[in-house]
Amino acid sequence: MRESTGLNKFSTEKTALVAVLRSPRDLEMAARRRWYRIPVKKAPKRRFTHIAFYQPACFKPDGKRIVYYAEVAGCRTERRIDIFPDEPGHPAARELYFKYSLGPLIKLPLPVLNTSRSRVSFGYASLKSLSRARDILGIFNTFPIENIMCDALKSAGFNFYREYIIMRGRKTRYRLDFALLRKNGKLDIECDGYNWHSARAQRVKDAKRDKWLRSHGWTILRFGEHAVVNNLEDCIGKINTAVQLIGQYGRAAG
């Protein structure tokens, strides 16, 4: 893998898009072919000058961390089949992608780890924070609200599943922050960080997701960052009420 070592001088005006790699092959292509692709319909709207590559759990033993980033040298739009001509049968073969050309991969002095088990999707970080943070939460400047909620649920005596996965065939359809499963109903508890869930596109996705879950028997409670950090007792009270309603009526009001 070709890479540059060390770290360039950081400027607060330079921003990295944090992108999740689907497989080690994607990192290899970024290193050797110097490009990365994002579906046009899922592409973030804000401007960015660099891409930082988050390696998920499939990068064993180096998963759940950011190790490399690269400067964006250019961008063009292509169909996926033109990017991967050897995969004509892919479901997205005819869809449009942004293909970003990259400079050499640059290795961070120390990796940025995901020690909080936070879900990582597209996000933005200044290059300065990327160079200084040792944890994912540090680069996004967010509170570990899911950890706060997890500890509170344990202290309140709830039995729950964290990062509960709902499958569609062999693929993950939705991943719930916390799921409380009862005989007469199911409760989904979501902790919404401001930086991510305040974006209009994400609010639309959340509404679509919640509609689907409710149609499949789920009650949903969403708690914002401010509520979890500053009024946790009230959050637990609302959860307790929802659980009681599930037991009393079979399904709590969403």
pLDDT tens-digit series, residues 186-228: 999 999 875 554 556 677 888 999 999 999 999 999 998 888 8
> Over the chain, what is the mean pLDDT?
85
Give the pLDDT confidence of 35-69 residue by residue, as tens digits. 999 999 888 888 899 999 999 989 989 999 999 99
Domain total for the chain? 2
Distance separating alpha carbons of residues 34 and 101, to the nearest angstrom: 6
Residues 127 and 150 occupy one common structural domain: no
Domain boundary among 125, 140, 155: 140
**Residue 177 belongs to domain spanning:** 145-249
Q: What is the CA radius of gyration of the chain?
A: 20
CA 239 from chain centre, in angstroms, equals 24
Residues 23 and 132 occupy one common structural domain: yes
| Mean pLDDT computed over 5-9 | 40
Three-state secondary structure call for residue 247: helix
Q: Is the pTM of this model over 0.85?
A: no
| Mean pLDDT computed over 3-28 | 72
Site of tokens 């879950």? 213
